[in-house]
Structure 1
Amino acid sequence: MKLTVIDSLTLPGSPQRPNEDASGWTADAAFVIDGATGLGPGILVGNDNSDAASLAAFAALNMTAMLERGHATDEIVRGINTLVGRIVGAMTSEPPHGWQLPVAGFQMLRAEDGRLVTSGLGDCTLFVADTEGNATTTSPHPSRGAENALAAAMIERARGLSKLAVADRDAATVEALRASRARFNTPGGPLWTLGAAPDAADHIASATLTPALPATALLASDGFAALVDTYRRYDAAGLVAAARDRGLDELGSELRRIEHEQDPEGQAFPRMKISDDATALLISIQQS
């Protein structure tokens, strides 16, 4: 089976902040990574004013290298998180709160021994459309309900999303975000991620896919997948077709028009910021 990246896109959510997404690919795999910075003072990983950007870049570099060496996906996650944990330990004099740690979701598509396998942690998404017209969507954490409810309450208090910078979130929002983040990467918690918890490797969501070939796949961070699950402009098949026919750059422009021209205040589509980082890879899947 042959995977070929035929288009790629990454857009920062704001020109004032680092892009906390990353992506990469090898001869038989591709992935996107979506970082989220810690919710406390100080930078625990890196020095780019965003420990999530540093985490995403570090994870992408090591993920690519370990894929090229043939490591299993769980080995890759365990290795990355072990290294990040050591970095955090070296940067802090005492263990940080869970909500202080940067985290990152990822979704991977990989050809393994003639099979097509997708694996991930967090809220990135894989869309696949095959030659028979079938389309599938895969995401380990597909629901945005709780986050959207929190965003709606925040927007109501602020009387508009455009009046809020990330650093200006009110105390109630920050407290709720910290309470949720503190449960990440814990037994019984809502989410496991790339970050400082090696045990996340035991919680990777994986599935074998059997699309009729040739097929086209689209890997997306949640900021790009919002075209489907938040803004409802496309279904899975429609998004893949639009990416194939019109290109990812045009879809990125459409995404930003929705956010900056049609709903800058977040009234129609409650969200935590006007625009999120948005990353996508368009991939051709063919029988080798």
Structure 2
Amino acid sequence: MQSGFSFIDAVNFPATGRTGDDRYGFDESAGTAWVVDGATDVGTRRVLPAEAEEAQGFVQYESDAAWYAEALSERFMRASEAGESAKAYLERVISDVAARAEAAALTPLSEEPRHNLPSAGGIWARRDGDAVEFAMLGDCIGILRTGGQTRVIGNLDAVKAEHATNREQLARPEGKAGGYASARDDRNRINTEGAHWVFSIHPEAAARATVERVRISGESHLLLMSDGFFRLVEPYRRYDATRLMDAALEEDALLDLVGELRAQEINPEDDVRIGRLKTSDDACALLLRVD
């Protein structure tokens, strides 16, 4: 039997609306899994349709971010080819999703400022021999426990820096309005030299993905999540990585953890102290056993 992942549990709780901008997926036969966090729309207009007739029926998309996250998650269901590197695979994935977005767009995407383009962070994992290989763009996080050791996979420094930047911005007179204006400025620089690299319509971003391979030893589990779920660790500090994995492995724990998360997000007056541009964020997590 081919080694891979076995599903244990998952949650995907939007902060507002019906579906939110996060998605998760897994393919047990291919030994792959992923979490996608669509970047909140900050543009001046939508560039992708709010509704479409898809193979599974009539679909509504609450935002361009939701459209892109859905398309990216669907594309991940087509597995990598034998011997294909993670970055080569991501380049094909991004190219295919970009072509789909261009075909569906309400306006030529090449004529839009980058702050109007859909984008997402994401973490993708595949079982690879005696290891798990990860490929990441953006701020989604993984926690892997293997051989009794727990380690964080992803750019934890970037997550912390975002909250620090938000605290500084929200303390200014322009507050959240200035924060969203700053977010548009940042979005205008995505996937350019000296800026941050994310999933969008630029296949060249694949070359900037962070790829990490971790050898598996003994009983192993993997928790993939959006930064909205990871708020339990940073900035709320309700858990560290070890204790969050301990909690996740308890029966029905992911649902309970979302309840604990939302309890921290009741009071908007805490946003400045905590560094939250959004009081409540979409929260998505996928828990797997590594076989």
Q: Per the shorter chain, which TM-score range? A: 0.7 to 0.9
* Residues 1:230 and 1:197: Cα distance change in structure 2 (over 3 Å): same
| Secondary structure at the counterpart of residue 275 of structure 2 | coil
CA distance in 2, matches of 1:284, 1:264: 39
CA distance in 1, matches of 2:125, 2:102: 32
CA contact (8 A) 1:81 1:195 kept: yes
Aligned counterpart for 1:260 among listed residues 227, 249, 266: 266
Deviation at 1:114, TM superposition (A): 3.7
Aligned to 2:34: 31
Provide the aligned C-alpha RMSD in A.
Answer: 2.5
Aligned to 1:138: 153
Aligned counterpart for 1:86 among listed residues 78, 99, 115: 99
CA distance in 2, matches of 1:127, 1:179: 31
Deviation at 1:83, TM superposition (A): 3.3
Matched, 1:74 2:90: no
Deviation at 1:125, TM superposition (A): 0.5
TM-score normalized by structure 1? 0.85
Deviation at 1:119, TM superposition (A): 1.4
Deviation at 1:73, TM superposition (A): 3.2
Deviation at 1:177, TM superposition (A): 1.1
Q: Which amino acid aligns with 1:273?
A: K
Q: Which amino acid aligns with 2:44?
A: P
* Residues 1:12 and 1:223: Cα distance change in structure 2 (over 3 Å): same
Choose 105-114 or 248-257, whichever is displaced more.
105-114
Structure 1 unpaired stretches of 5+? 161-168
Q: Which amino acid aligns with 2:282?
A: D
Aligned counterpart for 1:152 among listed residues 157, 162, 167: 167
CA distance in 1, matches of 2:289, 2:75: 24
Aligned counterpart for 1:40 among listed residues 33, 38, 43: 43
Matched, 1:187 2:193: yes
Matched, 1:11 2:26: no
Choose 35-44 or 5-14, whichever is displaced more.
35-44
| Secondary structure at the counterpart of residue 239 of structure 1 | helix
Structure 2 unpaired stretches of 5+? 51-60
Q: Which amino acid aligns with 2:143?
A: F
Question: Per-residue displacement from partner, 1:146-187 (whole Å, max 9, x unpaired)?
Answer: 432443355445899xxxxxxxx42x3233112211221112
CA contact (8 A) 1:106 1:121 kept: yes
Matched, 1:100 2:116: yes
Aligned to 1:178: 184
Matched, 1:116 2:118: no
Deviation at 1:259, TM superposition (A): 1.3
Name the count of aligned residue pairs.
Answer: 273
Aligned counterpart for 1:250 among listed residues 248, 251, 256: 256
TM-score normalized by structure 2? 0.84
* Residues 1:259 and 1:194: Cα distance change in structure 2 (over 3 Å): same
Deviation at 1:118, TM superposition (A): 1.4
CA distance in 2, matches of 1:233, 1:273: 19
Deviation at 1:111, TM superposition (A): 0.7
CA distance in 2, matches of 1:68, 1:49: 33
Question: Per-residue displacement from partner, 1:34-59 (whole Å, max 9, x unpaired)?
Answer: 01134222212331241010000000
- Structure 1 runs of 4+ aligned residues shifted over 3 Å read 66-73, 83-90, 153-160
CA contact (8 A) 2:131 2:216 kept: no
Aligned to 1:51: 64
CA contact (8 A) 1:39 1:101 kept: no
